Amino acid sequence: MSAWLRLHLHAFAESFRRLGTQPGAAAMSTLVLALAVSLPVLAAIALKSLGSVAAGVSTEPQLTVFLKPGASDDDVRRVEASLRADPAAREARFVSRTQALEELKAKTHLADLLAALESNPLPHAFAVRLRAAEPTALAAARDRIARLPAVDQVAGDFEWTERLRRWVRFGERALAVFSALLALTVAFIVGHLIRLQVVSQKEEIEVSQLIGATAADVRRPFLYRGFAQGLLAGVGAAALSALAVYWLESELRALTPSYASEFKPYFLTLPEMALVVALVSALATAGAWWAVHRELRKFSPSKGNP
């Protein structure tokens, strides 16, 4: 084993040994860092989950045209002809009341309740896909279709999915700023902890420099100490995030059947967890380097060798 590798292995082992000499303080600082890091991680998971829902929702303008309960076959044909002739309509698909009932039974948890009904309470309907247009033109088309004979109600919302996507994009930008601030916070906290350790070992450092230790020799154990602190904080943040998402998933699993829908939160993959740990370790190491470099310039007898 080369001397260079032996020095680094010794410094790496020494960093964990030093943390073990003060387990309470090390655990508290690591927990604070892990909680700080878990905040943007959980925010990213929430955005990823919300983004997957938004991506699965069709943003093409669409109307559901409900006919009156007593609409006859002639009424259905007249409404269909009017819809196909409307310049705003791209496609009109007829959904009979029988088909609507079967789809409702298949897609919801109300099959037993619907089967107990003596008659079908659903009306005939049309699913109308509209051409891309301005919101005012879409609203005008909705009002025009609602005035057709035998039409009871027209349902359609053209704006909520676009608003959802805009909020997701805004959340991504806000998350980037928030993550950058917390990254600086992680580097600052670790740097402050390392600075206190450097100050407490001032006499030991000065003696080692007098007998030939270079700035790199002095800096090395503190860098590994910062790296160890960041490594533990990154693992803790990934574990806390995974536990939070697992709890949320179990709660949603019990809640969503009541709404006949299914929403699954996004889980971090192993490469993404490794990336979180690596980034936190790098930030902590950078904070430690800055703190040691700053303190060595203050009291080092060899200021010319920073």
**Residue 109 pLDDT:** 64
Lowest-confidence pick of 30-34, 97-101, 145-149: 97-101
Residue 119 phi, psi (nearest 5): -140, 165
For range 107-134, the mean pLDDT = 74
Share of the chain above pLDDT 90, in %: 3
Question: Are the beta carbons of 306 and 219 closer than 8 angstroms?
Answer: no
Average pLDDT across the chain, whole number: 78
The answer, yes or no, to whether residue 306 has pLDDT greater than 50, is no
**Separation between Cα atoms, residue 156 and residue 152, nearest integer Å:** 14
Residue 67 has a CB neighbour count (10 Å cut-off) of: 22
**Separation between Cα atoms, residue 22 and residue 200, nearest integer Å:** 14
The answer, yes or no, to whether residue 195 has pLDDT greater than 80, is yes
Q: Which of 116-120, 213-217, 245-249 has the highest mean pLDDT?
A: 245-249
The answer, yes or no, to whether residue 299 has pLDDT greater than 70, is no
Q: Which residues contact 218 (CB under 8 A, 6 or more apart)?
A: 205, 208, 209, 292, 296, 300
Q: Confidence band (pLDDT; 50, 70, 90) for 305?
A: very low
Q: Which of 10-14, 83-87, 201-205, 296-300 has the highest mean pLDDT?
A: 83-87
Residue 16 phi, psi (nearest 5): -70, -35
**Separation between Cα atoms, residue 13 and residue 26, nearest integer Å:** 15
The answer, yes or no, to whether residue 107 has pLDDT greater than 80, is no
Q: Confidence band (pLDDT; 50, 70, 90) for 260?
A: very low
**Separation between Cα atoms, residue 40 and residue 35, nearest integer Å:** 10
The answer, yes or no, to whether residue 194 has pLDDT greater than 50, is yes
SS3 content of the chain, % helix, strand, coil (to 5): 70, 10, 20
Query: What per-residue string of b and e applies to 34-64 under the rule 16 or more CB within 10 Å gives b?
Result: bebbbbbbbbbbbbbbbbeebeeeeeebbbe
**Residue 1 pLDDT:** 56
The answer, yes or no, to whether residue 302 has pLDDT greater than 50, is no
* SS3 readout for 147-167: CCCCEEEEECCCCHHHHHHHH
The answer, yes or no, to whether residue 81 has pLDDT greater than 50, is yes
Q: Confidence band (pLDDT; 50, 70, 90) for 303?
A: very low
Task: Give the tens place of pLDDT for each residue, 5-63.
Answer: 776 776 777 666 766 677 777 788 888 888 888 888 888 887 777 766 555 555 567 88
Share of the chain above pLDDT 70, in %: 76
Q: Which of 16-20, 70-74, 124-128, 243-247 has the highest mean pLDDT?
A: 124-128
